[in-house]
């Protein structure tokens, strides 16, 4: 009679009679790729998948603040851009609401708001990418064991040698 074999973890082959019931049960695998994809589709969804709900309280206010900054700067950029158009349109019936400002001042203000509007777009993109990266890293570390047997201790150390006494730190890492 031939023994029946089955494929195990990493392709190892075990006789069927040595596999316990716990080994054959399907474990739900946590996917870092899925977490990153979810965060790419909807910001914060990967953090929810990783069960890091508290990060939503950081991601959404920051993204909202940057979006508000974009809207604010876009509004004033458009005001000063239109003021320049009105000033140079050649139509005497248009009213210049910035008649007390010089042309250089209006151009400076337009450029100021345009610059910070553009920086808001860059900031929003950076936050979006960082939250996707954060979801992927948390997905990779989801099953990382942070048990009580992990410890790090550092203590001050005083030594004496030919040059005299010296102070330092001793670091001990227990895994």
pLDDT at position 78 is: 95
Q: Which residues pair with 28 in a beta bridge?
A: none
CA distance 132 to 130: 5
Measured over the CA atoms of residue 65, residue 68, residue 73 and residue 74, the dihedral's sign is positive
Helix extents (H) in the chain: 21-24, 32-41, 45-49, 56-87, 103-140
The reported pLDDT for the residue numbered 89 is: 85
> In this predicted structure, what is the pLDDT of residue 30?
87
Q: Would you state the structure tokens that stand for residue 95, as one six-digit string?
A: 């009213």
Give the residue ranges of the chain where pLDDT is below 50. Answer: 9, 22-25
pLDDT at 174: 73
Render pLDDT for 82-121 as a digit per residue (tens, 0 to 9): 999 988 887 877 788 888 889 899 999 999 999 999 999 9
What's the half-sphere exposure (Cβ side, CA atoms, 13 Å) at 102? 3
C-beta of residue 49 within 8 angstroms of C-beta of residue 135: yes
Q: What is the pLDDT of residue 16?
A: 54
pTM for the full predicted model: 0.65
pLDDT at position 73, please?
A: 97
Lookup: tokens for 3:
């023994």
């Amino acid at each position: 009679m031939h023994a029946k074999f089955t494929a195990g973890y990493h392709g190892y082959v075990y006789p069927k009679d040595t596999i316990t019931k716990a080994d054959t049960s399907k474990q739900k695998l946590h996917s870092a790729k899925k977490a990153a994809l979810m965060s790419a589709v909807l910001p914060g969804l990967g953090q929810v998948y990783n069960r890091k709900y508290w990060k939503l309280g950081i991601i959404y206010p920051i993204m909202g603040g940057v979006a508000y900054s974009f809207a604010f700067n876009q509004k004033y950029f458009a005001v000063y851009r239109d003021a320049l158009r009105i000033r140079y349109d050649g139509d005497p019936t248009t009213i210049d609401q910035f008649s007390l400002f010089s042309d250089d001042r209006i151009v400076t203000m337009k450029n100021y708001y345009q610059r910070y509007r553009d920086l808001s777009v860059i900031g929003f993109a950076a936050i979006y990418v960082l939250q996707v990266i954060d979801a992927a890293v948390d997905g990779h570390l989801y099953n990382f064991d942070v048990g009580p047997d992990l410890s790090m201790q550092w203590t001050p150390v005083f030594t004496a040698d030919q040059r005299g006494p010296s102070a330092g730190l001793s670091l001990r890492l227990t895994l």
